[in-house]
Amino acid sequence: MIRFTSLAAGKEIGAHSYLLEFDALRIVLDAGTHPKREGLASLPRFEDLPFGSVDAILLSHAHLDHSGALPVLAREQPSARILMSEATRVLSDALLHNSVNVMTAQREELRLVEYPLYTHRELERLYPRWETAPMRRPFPVTYGADVQCEFFEAGHILGAAAILLEKAGHRVLYTGDIHFEDQSLTRGASLPTSGVDTVIVETTRGNVARDPAYTREREMERLAAHINEVIKKGGSVLAPVFAMGKTQELLVMLHDLKQRREIPNAPIHIGGLGTKMTRLYDMLGGRPRRLRPDMRILEEVEIVISSSKKRGSQMEFHPRCIYALSSGMMSPKTVSNLFARQILENDRCGLFFVGYADPESPAGQILKTEPGHNVQLDSEDRPRALRCNVQKFDFSGHATREATLHYLETLQPANVILVHGDAEALSWFEQNLPAKLPRARIVVPEPGTAYDLA
């Protein structure tokens, strides 16, 4: 018996966690928190897992919607083996410690008595339990078990892995977050191309069609043109970015554009967690499959590092600069959200989005707001007229729907389980996959419902 159950809080993006049962062996894939919820409501459905019932926890990558609840799950599953890639181990440790700081502050701000959900000391005790596994080397999920596991490069961020599990000839592939194209630092995914029976696949970009004429180089030229336009006016650019992954990719893109003299030598400001994660990216630079392994971003890219003690509203605005600040979705009270208050109403400035933005996040709300209309960044802030130049660029770390559809058509699995997408994205795949996979079973799983795969 092979059985799948979604432990995610809903059919959406956030709090990703999935239970796979191979007869008596129970494996949990990822343990994330929900970016739009707080407290215990941000966790997956861990109440569906009896204490001590899980044999192994496998982490696909370090982003918090996949890793943020790992300490909570590990506490409730003290005997479970915990496995991830080497880079994910390093990056997750830093992100989770930062989460403790955020939750500690939110305990007072939001009056959430359950915060923090875990402590720095608990993370220090947990860290030795985290085992690492290299890419493309099969290993038993638990010692003596007849379920084999293998990590494959997922192409999303440094260390991201797609996870292949096999028992008695039935192979289950969990993609995690994937991207098939090379980015500035991260090579595109390299996944199995045959012999997979069940695929658990992300659908993040299912609601967006890509322009057939798109190329990354052309998109970089468009970015350069808009940066030049803003700098020429004497304004500055704010690029909201995730502290890990997108910050480092953008810094390298901007460096390349400067080297090619396609944009002026404008100062690039980063700060806080983005600086720390860039330092870790540099430390992990020589790892297999990272593009430009010898590049040390903090040494080679001219960066102005703002004090970690300064929040966005305290950062001084300078003209003709580029600010790469987190968070990418401009969540309330983050540096990008606070700093944007100095940008939104200035028609000389630019607000440039270079990654995924949840439609309901402040970033998503800005993208839906017509120029000149009001937008509110935070319930505690006043509405502000949107006068800056808002642009959206396609440098996402997630696969396009066309690339995902092509991959699944090549693979021809018997079961496809659609996860990690909003309602529109899930619906697009559910409607379009049957034509490509006429014999496949397509499932959009209900949280908490078990589905037999074999």
**pLDDT beyond 60 at 309:** no
Q: Are residues 380 and 239 in the same domain?
A: yes
Of 37-51, 66-80, 124-138, 300-314, the range with the lowest mean pLDDT is 300-314
Q: Are residues 231 and 290 in the same domain?
A: yes
Determine contact, residues 16/65, Cβ cutoff 8 Å: yes
Between the alpha carbon of residue 164 and those of residues 90, 145, 220, 303, the distances in Å are 22, 15, 34, 39
The residue among 154 and 35 whose pLDDT is bigger is 154
> Of 347, 372, 392, which residue sits at a domain end?
392
Q: What pTM, to 2 d.p., does this model score?
A: 0.95
**pLDDT beyond 60 at 312:** no
Task: Look up tokens 């990654």; give the residue.
Answer: 355
Which pLDDT belongs to residue 379? Answer: 84
Which pLDDT belongs to residue 285? Answer: 86
Mean pLDDT rounded to a whole number for the chain = 95
Q: Are residues 352 and 409 in the same domain?
A: no
How far apart are the C-alpha atoms of 417 and 29, rounded to whole Å? 14
Q: Are residues 62 and 42 in the same domain?
A: yes
Q: Are residues 100 and 142 in the same domain?
A: yes
Which pLDDT belongs to residue 380? Answer: 84
Q: Are residues 132 and 221 in the same domain?
A: no
Q: Are residues 79 and 203 in the same domain?
A: yes
How far apart are the C-alpha atoms of 426 and 421, rounded to whole Å? 6
- E-strand ranges in 147-209 read 148-153, 161-167, 170-174, 198-202
Of 135-144, 251-260, 305-314, 358-367, the range with the lowest mean pLDDT is 305-314
Q: Are residues 365 and 433 in the same domain?
A: no
Which residue range(s) make up the domain with 446? 2-208+397-452
> Of 346, 375, 392, which residue sits at a domain end?
392
Residues 373-391: tens digit of each pLDDT: 999 998 888 999 999 999 9
Average pLDDT over residues 95-116: 92
**pLDDT beyond 70 at 162:** yes
Q: How confident is the model at residue 313 (pLDDT cuts 50, 70, 90)?
A: low
Average pLDDT over residues 109-129: 94
Q: Are residues 171 and 241 in the same domain?
A: no
Which pLDDT belongs to residue 307? Answer: 62
Determine contact, residues 18/30, Cβ cutoff 8 Å: yes
The Cα angle at residue 322 between residues 321 and 323, in degrees rounded to 5: 120
CATH code, domain with 360: 3.40.50.10890
Q: Are residues 274 and 308 in the same domain?
A: yes
% of residues, the chain, pLDDT over 90: 88
Number of domains in the chain: 2
Q: How confident is the model at residue 308 (pLDDT cuts 50, 70, 90)?
A: low
Max Cα distance, the chain (Å): 66
> Of 364, 392, 420, which residue sits at a domain end?
392
**pLDDT beyond 70 at 311:** no
CATH code, domain with 416: 3.60.15.10
Q: Are residues 295 and 424 in the same domain?
A: no
The Cα angle at residue 182 between residues 181 and 184, in degrees rounded to 5: 140
Q: How confident is the model at residue 27 (pLDDT cuts 50, 70, 90)?
A: very high
Q: How confident is the model at residue 310 (pLDDT cuts 50, 70, 90)?
A: low
Residue ranges of alpha helices (H) inside 344-388 are 362-368
Residues 323-342: tens digit of each pLDDT: 999 989 998 888 999 999 99
Q: Are residues 182 and 312 in the same domain?
A: no
